[in-house]
Structure 1
Amino acid sequence: MTLRLWARRIAVSTASAAALVALAVPAEAATTATSASPAASTATTTAVSSADVDYDTWQKDCQAVMDQALPYLKQRIANTKPGEKQAIVFDIDNTTLETDFGFSYPQPPNQPVLEVAEYAQEHGVSLFFVTARPGIIYSVTDYNLEHVGYQVSGLYVRSFLDLFKNVAEYKTAQRADIESKGYTIIANIGNSATDLSGGHAEKTYKLPDYDGQLS
C-alpha cells in the first residue's frame, strides 16, 4: 500500500473514532470470469491504471462484477440444502464501504455491493466481514456497517499479533473459522487478491483495485 493510501486510511480512522465518541456523548469496466480452483471460480475486472481513480468509473466497474454475482447467488440460495447455513464473506475498504472516496463518517456504502448484500440477508444468508483494519477501530467499523444497511453476523479485525501475519493467510484463517462454526461460504467478495486467495469459499468475486490504488 502506498504512503498516500496509508495516510488517507489513518485520517478516515481518526475521523471515524471521533465521530462515534461525539455520538455517544449525548446518550480494495467489463468483466471476465476465471477459475480460482477446481472447487471455486473468480469474477474479476480488467485492470485500469490512472493517477486518480474516477468515482463513476469505479461504480460502473463494481456494478459489472455484482451483475455477475447476483444471478449466481439467487440460484445458490434457491438451492439451499436442508440444514445448510449459508454465508457470504466481504472485505470492507473499497468493497462494502467507499473508503477512499471522501472522509465522512459514517462512510457511505458501496451501493452495488450493498444491493447484493441486502438480497442475501433478506433470504437468510449471514454476512461476515473480514478486514485488515486493526481491532482498535472495531466498534466504529461495526457501527458504520450496520448504520448503512449491512446486517453483521460477524466482524473479524486484526489483533496486535495478526499485524505481523501475512494478510492473505490471516484472511484465509478467518474464513476457515467461519466454516468451523458450521457455515457454508457461498461467496467471498473483495477488491484485492489477498481478500480472495486461500480457498474456503465456493465462488470469489473481485472488485476493481486499479493496480493497487484502492487496496
Structure 2
Amino acid sequence: MPSTPSMPSTPSTPSTPLRRRAAAGTTGALALTALLVVGPAPTASAADPDTHLTSIAAVKDVDYATWRRDVAAVVAEARPYVEERSEDAGREKQAIVLDIDNSSLETDFHPFWELPTPAIPEVRDLVDDAHARGVDVFFVTARPGILHSLTDWNLKQAGYPVDGLYVRSLPDLFAEVGAYKTAKRAEIEAKGYTIIANIGNNTTDIVGGHAERAFKLPDYGGKLS
C-alpha cells in the first residue's frame, strides 16, 4: 500500500496565496448567493456562444484547452492507482475526497449565473468508475454553509455521486482552509473509511495527510479559486 506523502506543516498565519484563495472563494460564494436572490442573468448571445471567453479564468489569462489538457495529465496519473487500489473495495470502506471549485466543477471557466456549473469530465469519469467499484465519494469545500443545498444539487446535476458534502460552518470561516479540510478528512476516517485518494487544485486541499495519496490539479500559481 503506498505510503502517505509527506506534506509541509500548516503555517499559523495564512500566506498571501491562502488569503487570496479565501477571498476568491468568498467572492464566488457571494456571486452564487446573489444569483439566488436576483435570479440568472441573460445567457450568452449567439454572437458570443463560447462562455469560456467571459469566464473568470479567461480574465486571468488561463486558457481552457490548456487547463483541460493539464487536468487530464493528472487524472491519467491517478487512474491506474485508483483502479488498482479499489479493485477489492468491498473488503474495506474506501473513500475518495475531492475539492469542488476547479477540481470537480469547471467553476472559473463557466459564468456563475449559468447553473448548473458543469463537471470536469476527466475527474467525473474517474470518480464514477471508482464509485462503481464500491468507493464512496466525499466533497470537502471551502464554500460557506449557506450554499450547501445549491452545491449538493449542482454536483448531482453534473453527474457526480455524492456520499457526503462538507461545507464551512460559521466558525470554520475564520479557520485556515488547509486545517479545516484536514479536520474534515479526519472526520471521514473516524467513520471507518480509508481515504485512498484526495484530489484538489490547491495546496490547502491536500496538506495535512489523512489520505493514502494526494493528487494536485493545476491552479497556475493561485490564479484559479
- Answer yes or no: same fold by TM over 0.5: yes
Q: Shift of the alpha carbon at 1:195?
A: 0.2
Contact 1:16 1:106 in 2 (8 A): no
1:5–1:164 distance in 2 versus 1, CA, 3 Å: closer
Residues 196-215 of structure 1: pairs in structure 2 closer than 5 A? 196-215=206-225
Report what 2:189 is aligned to: 179
Q: Which runs of 5+ in 1 are unaligned?
A: 21-49
Q: Specify the SS of the correspondent of 2:163.
A: strand
Residue identity over aligned pairs, in percent, reads 52
1:2-17 equivalences in 2 (<5 Å): 7-15=27-35
The one of 149, 165, 186 equivalent to 1:155 is 165
Query: Higher strand proportion, which one?
Result: 1
- After superposition, give the CA deviation of every residue in 1:147-174 in whole Å (9 maximum; x if it has no partner): 1111111000000010111100000000
CA gap of 1:185–1:105, structure 2 versus 1, over 3 A, is same
Runs (5+) with no aligned partner, structure 2: 1-19, 41-58
User: In the comparison of the two structures, how many residue pairs are matched?
Assistant: 185
Give the TM-score taking structure 2 as reference length: 0.77
Q: Distance in 2 between matches of 1:213 and 1:201?
A: 25
- RMSD of equivalent CA atoms: 2.1
Paired letter, 1:11: A
Kindly state the Cα deviation for residue 52 of structure 1 after the two structures are TM-superposed: 1.1
Contact 1:19 1:105 in 2 (8 A): no
Alignment-mate amino acid for residue 71 of structure 1? P
What's the offset of the Cα at 1:10? 2.8
SS where residue 100 of structure 1 aligns? Answer: helix
Residues in 2 aligned to 1:180 and 1:56: alpha-carbon distance in whole angstroms: 39
TM-score by length of 1: 0.80
1:8 CA displacement: 4.8
Equivalent in 133, 138, 157 of residue 143 of structure 2: 133
